[in-house]
A and B are shown apart, each in its own frame.
Chain A
Amino acid sequence: MKQCKKLVESVFFCCMCCIILQGCGGGDNQKNTTIRIGVAGSHSGDLASYGLPTLKAAELVAMKVNAQGGVLGKQVEIIPADDVCKPEIATNTATKLISQNVDIVLGHICSGATKAALGIYKSAKLIAISPSATNPDLTQSGDYPNFFRTIASDDLQARQEVDFAIKVLHLKKIAVVHDKGDYGKGLAEFAKGFVEKTPGVELVLYEGVTPGAVDYSAIVQKIKRSGAEAVIYGGYHPEASKIVTQMRKTRMETVFISDDGVKDDTFIKVAGPYAEGVYATGPMDTSKNPLTKEATDACREKYGENPGAFFLNAYAASLAIVNAIEKAGTTEYDQLSKALRTEYVETPLGKISFDARGDAIGVGFSMYQVKDGKYVEVN
């Protein structure tokens, strides 16, 4: 027994030594012979399906660039780091990437983990570009000048819905309804804020409904009584279709505007004729972009499967990184962030650059309307 304990102790000691040595080894390697892109995100665990496509996108871009001779004469190397989408692990992930001397980070995936890691990157003067963190605060707080993203933030959708109702449809009385969920209520709160801040426009109703209820006629009658000209709904399609159906059945013509939780073909299938005329915001259609086709084809060829969540956003982010390094001629922080903000790059999401806060210009949502049983982009 005693021997056994000793054995464990010695193994433990050896391990410690190894870790320390490895740490030192990383520190020694000051001059990189390659361009190192750290890819941080959930590569395992229950949210792996959100993180792995980003890793694939980065590898594909690296392969493509390396085949053409690399960037600044150096090969691009991908350094993956798993944060399981947990903020407490993301800090370790960030530290590890810094010790591995990465030049720039692609990630993280989840907003919470991204926020936790950003402070560490900031003090290490390292830029992070997320393909998927949508929390508005990340760019709007101004705390993280080293942060960029290739996905539109949550409030952008609400902004678009409100602007559409007020500026395009010229409506003055707006009701905001949500499903009490994180996503729906979050959007509804932004919409409420935007409506209240617009002079001359009245928020006549702000309320949450219980998802899955058998009947929404009471809330529909309440909307009718409030005199709303438009309903902005935050939530998903099952409730939206029930509410719209009930509204039309009680002969209400009120405009219905919703989000990308409703911009789903199931909504049209379920609400049938009652879906006609409903507005919903959704990601811009990029399927006609040749780069999109190239990226998805490459993914199918290399990995034998369809690209997953945020793949195109990650592909765009990787291209933006390579482009910025190329244009800046260095991986040095100040010049790189300047290049990201000034140089446009062709990506599957369209031609993008980043604004002063780090949000991608040219990435966003479009407004769609149901016409003849199909979502059609409204301009």
Chain B
Amino acid sequence: MEYFIELFFSGLTRGSIYALIALGYTMVYGVIGLINFAHGEIYMIGAFTALIIANVLSVWGWPAAATFLCAGVGAVIYASAYGYTVEKIAYKPLRNAPRLSPLISAIGMSIFLQNYVLLAQTSDFMPFPALIPDFAFMEPVAHIIGSSDLVIILTTFIVMILLTLLIKFTRIGKAMRATAQDKKMALLVGVDVNQVISATFVIGSTLAAIGGLLIASHIGQINFYIGFLAGIKAFTAAVLGGIGSIPGALLGGLILGWTESFATGYVSSDYEDVFAFALLVLILIFRPYGILGRKETKKV
């Protein structure tokens, strides 16, 4: 039984990591119907920014909590700026182009950003400081779940709830929903569509940067390629839960995390990905729009 609980929690951690990145994917998709493949790279840039800030601050001898906060804020601002710019450069000019064009543009952006960081930084793995300290109250259960796991799980849940509230109850949320339903109509009733889309990208990038900070300090190492691998799994999670649905991203992430964790624990980690993607195929056969996804109505 204890083994089951251990696997349950390791799946929960893994799933929360996927979900945290998947939230950004699914949000952008929900508003403008674009799969933003550069999202993983924004996550990576967030992690790199946090690393640089944390290293500088630790040289100055700042306390861990302040370093964590500053690195987080810096990463969010810098990554948001990237998200905003990427949208303006790579997606906005293609807004009325066929759907395939922005997709290719997104892949191009992803490759560009990867190589940019590769050249500007290094191809080596860089150590990332453990910004989340080991909490004393976690010591009795440290063999099952670590402090950084706990922080990631809580953050994912909080972010998901905040995001749902933002979309349901705020003015910008309403504008986002309007844009998602019909861009032209939203424009006609006075919604600044460009601004809404920019805001969506900024929020998405913020989530990616928070994810980058937390996940990098959990794993303890980063390089220019982490965004791609994490992005693929997060994208899978988003599709599994129903792309465009915010609770779906969390559900998809957790299901993926648990599948991998239990497959490793009870079968073999050689087949971890096999099980994960077999599950994806199965779910998509029976629910083509994901678990919580809605069927898209064709706009005429």
CB nearest neighbor in A for B13: A215
B13 A221 Cβ-Cβ under 8 A: no
Cβ-defined partner of A242 (8 Å) among B10, B146, B219, B233: B219
B221 A238 Cβ-Cβ under 8 A: yes
A219 B264 Cβ-Cβ under 8 A: yes
Cα A251 to Cα B269 with chains together (Å): 22
Interface residues on A, range: 20 to 34
B127 A214 Cβ-Cβ under 8 A: no
A269 B146 Cβ-Cβ under 8 A: no
B215 interfacial by beta-carbon distance below 8 Å: yes
B87 interfacial by beta-carbon distance below 8 Å: no
Residues 246-284 of B, flagged 1 when their CB comes within 8 A of A and 0 if not, give 000000000000001110110011101100000000000
Cβ-defined partner of B14 (8 Å) among A209, A217, A242: A217
CB nearest neighbor in A for B129: A272
Known: A241-B220, A251-B143, A270-B220. A218 touches B261 (CB 8 A): yes
A205-229 contacts to B (CB < 8 Å): 207-210, 212-215, 217-222, 224-225
A215 B125 Cβ-Cβ under 8 A: no
Residues 88-102 of A, flagged 1 when their CB comes within 8 A of B and 0 if not, give 000000000000000
B3 A214 Cβ-Cβ under 8 A: no
Tell me, rounded to whole Å, the shortest Cβ–Cβ distance linking A355 to chain B: 36
B117-144 contacts to A (CB < 8 Å): 124-127, 130, 142-144
Known: A214-B230, A221-B7. A245 touches B265 (CB 8 A): no
Q: Quick one: which of B7, B13, B221, B233 has the most chain A CB within 10 A?
A: B221
> Per DSSP, are chain A's interface residues mostly helix, strand or loop, or mixed?
helix
B residues near A180, Cβ cutoff 8 Å: 270
B residues near A336, Cβ cutoff 8 Å: none
Tell me, rounded to whole Å, the shortest Cβ–Cβ distance linking B208 to chain A: 14
Known: A241-B220, A241-B221, A270-B220. A218 touches B127 (CB 8 A): no
B220 A219 Cβ-Cβ under 8 A: no
CB nearest neighbor in B for A180: B270
A237 interfacial by beta-carbon distance below 8 Å: yes
Residues 50-77 of A, flagged 1 when their CB comes within 8 A of B and 0 if not, give 0000000000000000000000000000
B10 A221 Cβ-Cβ under 8 A: yes
A residues near B125, Cβ cutoff 8 Å: 237-238, 241, 266, 270
A250 interfacial by beta-carbon distance below 8 Å: yes
Residues 195-213 of A, flagged 1 when their CB comes within 8 A of B and 0 if not, give 0000000000001111011
Tell me, rounded to whole Å, the shortest Cβ–Cβ distance linking A223 to chain B: 10
Cα A242 to Cα B125 with chains together (Å): 12
A222 B221 Cβ-Cβ under 8 A: no
Known: A212-B229, A215-B10, A237-B125. A251 touches B265 (CB 8 A): no
Cα A348 to Cα B43 with chains together (Å): 47
Tell me, rounded to whole Å, the shortest Cβ–Cβ distance linking A205 to chain B: 10
B residues near A221, Cβ cutoff 8 Å: 3, 6-7, 10, 265
B269 A210 Cβ-Cβ under 8 A: yes
Tell me, rounded to whole Å, the shortest Cβ–Cβ distance linking A211 to chain B: 9
B3-39 contacts to A (CB < 8 Å): 3, 6-7, 9-11, 13-14, 17-18
Tell me, rounded to whole Å, the shortest Cβ–Cβ distance linking A264 to chain B: 10
Tell me, rounded to whole Å, the shortest Cβ–Cβ distance linking A175 to chain B: 12
B265 A272 Cβ-Cβ under 8 A: no
A293 interfacial by beta-carbon distance below 8 Å: no
CB nearest neighbor in A for B230: A214
Known: A214-B17, A217-B13, A218-B260. A207 touches B270 (CB 8 A): yes
A214 B220 Cβ-Cβ under 8 A: no
B residues near A210, Cβ cutoff 8 Å: 269, 272-273
CB nearest neighbor in B for A215: B14
Tell me, rounded to whole Å, the shortest Cβ–Cβ distance linking A265 to chain B: 10
Residues 219-262 of A, flagged 1 when their CB comes within 8 A of B and 0 if not, give 11110110000000000011001100100011110000000000
Some 15 contacts from A to B, beta carbons below 8 A apart, are A210-B269, A214-B233, A217-B6, A217-B14, A218-B11, A218-B262, A218-B265, A218-B272, A221-B7, A221-B10, A241-B125, A250-B143, A250-B144, A269-B127, A272-B127
Residues on A lying within 8 angstroms of B by beta carbon are 180, 207-210, 212-215, 217-222, 224-225, 237-238, 241-242, 245, 249-252, 266, 269-272
